[in-house]
Amino acid sequence: MQAFVTLSGRVAAMDRNNVDTDQIIPKQFLKRIERTGFGQFLFYDWRFRDDQTPDPDFELNDPKFSGATILVSRRNFGSGSSREHAPWALEDYGFRVIIAESFADIFYNNCFKNGMLPVALSEEKIETLFERIAGKSYTLHVDLSDQRLYDDEGLVDWKFEVDAFRKHCLLNGLDDIALTLEHADAIEAYEKAAGINQSSAS
């Protein structure tokens, strides 16, 4: 998993509540067995018209959001079915940070497991970001070590909360497998003491 320490990136705005996983990555694209390649299908039903041409009315099709690595939205982002493909699609599209008023629990956990940082901010601060983004290309800087979010104009400079264990994992690029491998020596010692035949077990 790619570690996350700092990021300076363009911000895209999605002024919607309850953005659910069924829209983030529609069910017809869940047949792939790889974890990559889902970005092309992100928000597919919103991004494209019936003839598969980009819908100019959809937020992410706005040229000023091209190349954005930070997404700002409203309440209850990532609600719906508990599909890990949702953070896969967002990350593959290019987003490393999702900022919202609140997140669905499973989606929030899955973000950390896939190298993305979800940041929950107050409604007032989210509104400030939407005002800053309106009508222009806008850049934010995110520092996970200091848990700080700020812009170049000095109008945004906020601390955000993150669980210490999740922060440690993200800073060091540790997914569940990597966390287990950190204890490989202890696991091997236990297996030897317990008389477990590793060759036959594998």
pLDDT in tens, 22-81: 999 999 999 877 888 999 999 999 999 999 999 999 999 999 999 999 999 999 999 998
96 neighbors 74 (Cβ within 8 angstroms)? no
User: Both 19 and 94 in a single domain?
Assistant: yes
Give percent of the chain with pLDDT exceeding 70.
89
User: Both 50 and 145 in a single domain?
Assistant: yes
Q: CATH number for the domain including 68?
A: 3.20.19.10
Whether residue 85 has pLDDT greater than 80: yes
Helix (H, G, I), strand (E, B) or coil at 144: coil
Q: Mean pLDDT over all residues of the chain?
A: 90
Residues spanned by the domain of 187: 175-202
- Residue 173 pLDDT: 92
User: Both 190 and 146 in a single domain?
Assistant: no
Residue type at 57?
D
User: Both 23 and 114 in a single domain?
Assistant: yes
Whether residue 201 has pLDDT greater than 60: no
Mean pLDDT, range 155-178, rounded to an integer: 89
Give percent of the chain with pLDDT exceeding 90.
77
Question: Which residue did the predictor score with more confidence, 180 or 137?
Answer: 137
User: Both 70 and 101 in a single domain?
Assistant: yes
Whether residue 183 has pLDDT greater than 50: no
Is residue 186 a part of any domain in this protein? yes
What is the domain count for the chain? Answer: 2
User: Both 63 and 115 in a single domain?
Assistant: yes
- Residue 185 pLDDT: 60
Strand order in the sheet with 6-13: 117-120, 97-100, 70-72, 6-13, 139-143, 148-150, 157-159
User: Both 134 and 117 in a single domain?
Assistant: yes
User: Both 101 and 148 in a single domain?
Assistant: yes
Is residue 1 a part of any domain in this protein? no
